Amino acid sequence: MSKPKHAAGRKPLRLFNLPWQAFLIITAVVLAATYLGVLPKGMAGCFLFMMVLGEILAWIGDHTPIIKDFLGGGAIVCIFGSALLVYFGILPGTKVIEAANEAGEMVKQTVPNMTLPLGNLDLVGNIGTFFKTTGGFLDWYIAALITGSILGMNRKLLMKAAARYFPAIFGGLIVAFGACMGVAHLMGYPVMNALLLIALPIMGGGMGAGATPLSKIFESSSSMSAADALSIMTPAVAIGNAVSIVLAGILVKIMVGRLNGKGQLMRAGSMDPKELEISPEMQAKRDHIEVKNLGIGLLVSGAFFAWGYILQGAWNALGTGVTIHAYAWMIISVAVCKITNIVPESVEVACYQWFQFIMKNLTHMLLVGIGICYLDIGTVITTFSWTYLALCAATCVGAFIGAALIGRLVGFYPFEAGVTAGLCMSNMGGTGDVAVLSAADRMELMPFAQISSRLGGAIILLIASLMLSLLAQYLVVSNPEVAMRTLEAVKTASMTIAGV
């Protein structure tokens, strides 16, 4: 009897671990409910739509030449593909129009962006609520990753790696700032503006924990209003995030051999290789999945997350003026529990299994949420210029190079050090960490990425306060692009007069 064709070589196509025919039926049901306007508006509908869309976009990215080899594959297509669907109004949402009210005055109104047969559906708004505001899916996801990945680490590795990690972060900061200032000088862009309004927010850990508090620091220093600072910093953060994702996807293909630890941060030569390994007995326990363990992992990761907020509240009550995010306190707490070995082994295994379940099943869904909720294609397009892009790119490249070089000196693999201590400083915080690590296929390094985004972001705020007190007087307050054109005009006029 002859074997099926796929038995001899290629495996049959499966999507979300289902036969493609079954997934196609599910997709048809989801799209029908969406464009009829009856998709459930809460968690159930958002989960379902994002999982289907994420799987489709990830498959496209993982099977498209160039994109799959050099630009991050499925991760980057999930993010940018979903953002483009919002930008072109393909997903049900809302739009703002001007219409006359009863008094005949023109006022702005929010209306659906499309008419659906059986009801009105603001899918984009629903996902925003579920993902980043009251729903908080992103927090839930990152809590699972932090808890499971840290408790799943080798304890000796965690102790040795943490002490060497901060020098790599500072190496990335110094080279990133220097690269941005150097490119600004070469291109005639105001150097202090490039440093304080582009490089600093890019390296600051995203919008909520980075650019927004930085803008308040600018305002308190009387150098410019918070709104003016944000109008310049926001595109820089978005472009820096995109460049970081693309760099991670490209460099993982280029940096091979001894430059790449294939997911291991510390080089084997810097300590006994056996100390870096998970014992066969522990690996067997991890591989034996039990349903009850998933519940334990969910409960424990949620408890650590709540504990992080308790410590954040206590810290803020001290009135230090320095904000340390709850994620940072959570990382510290989980790491202390791991180093002191006070968490029972069975709980560690349960948290690791929960982390693996979340990472393997919901990462594409998460990336879709990042694209829909955080990546504004319109903002990137309207603020784009080659000079601005060059400055953002120089910052990200500098961050990677500096972290990789210092990381190499302290015993890390250059690629892993560059990604975690460099690119995870130059991305958009927690969302960017997931995207960068997905593009680099290094999700197991999430604890170090979160150290960069959270503790590194807090360090940036401290540095910003010092730098603004010394350098704010050198800022060009007018639009830097206008200032550049004015400067060129003055140079041209001077040369003309000199020629006459």
Q: What is the pLDDT of residues 312-323, one digit of tens each?
A: 899 888 887 666
Does the residue 77 lie in any domain?
no
Q: What's residue 395's pLDDT?
A: 96
Long-range CB contacts (within 8 A, 24+) of 127-132: 127/46, 127/49, 127/50, 127/369, 127/372, 127/373, 128/372, 128/373, 130/42, 130/43, 130/46, 130/47, 131/46, 131/369, 131/372, 131/373, 132/369, 132/373, 132/374
Q: What is the mean pLDDT of the chain?
A: 81
Q: Is residue 20 in some structural domain? A: no
| Full residue range of the structural domain in which residue 334 is found | 137-484
Least confidently predicted of 60-64, 98-102, 268-272, 378-382: 268-272
Give dist(CA 394, CA 400) in Å, integer. Answer: 10
Average pLDDT over residues 382-390: 81
* pLDDT value at 465 more than 70: no
Contact 207, 428 (CB under 8 A): yes
Residue 354 tokens, joined? 């929960």
Strands 106-112 vs 94-100: parallel, antiparallel or unpaired:
antiparallel
Cα distances (Å, whole numbers) of residue 397 to 140, 178, 195, 234, 243: 31, 11, 15, 19, 9
> Does 299 fall in a domain?
yes
**Cα angle at 355 between 352 and 360, to 5 degrees?**
125
- Report whether pLDDT(482) > 50: no
Which pLDDT score, from 0 to 100, does residue 281 have? 79
Residues 73, 94 contacting (CB under 8 angstroms): no
pTM of the model: 0.71
Domain assignment present for residue 318? The answer is yes
**Is residue 84 in a domain?**
no
Tokens for 146?
């932090």
Tell me which of 293 and 319 has the higher pLDDT.
293
Residue 369 lies in a domain: yes
pLDDT the model gives residue 242: 85
Position 303 in a domain: yes
pLDDT band at 391 (very low <50, low <70, confident <90, very high): very high
Residues whose CB is less than 8 angstroms from the CB of residue 190 and which lie 6 or more positions away in sequence, other chains included: 184, 475, 476, 480, 483, 484
> Above 80 in pLDDT, residue 30?
yes
The tally of domains found in the chain comes to 1
Q: What is the mean pLDDT of residues 371-399?
A: 84
Whole-angstrom CA distances from 9 to 3, 4, 279, 322 are 11, 10, 34, 59
Instruction: Give me the mean pLDDT over the 439-464 stretch.
Output: 77
Indicate whether 204 belongs to any domain.
Answer: yes
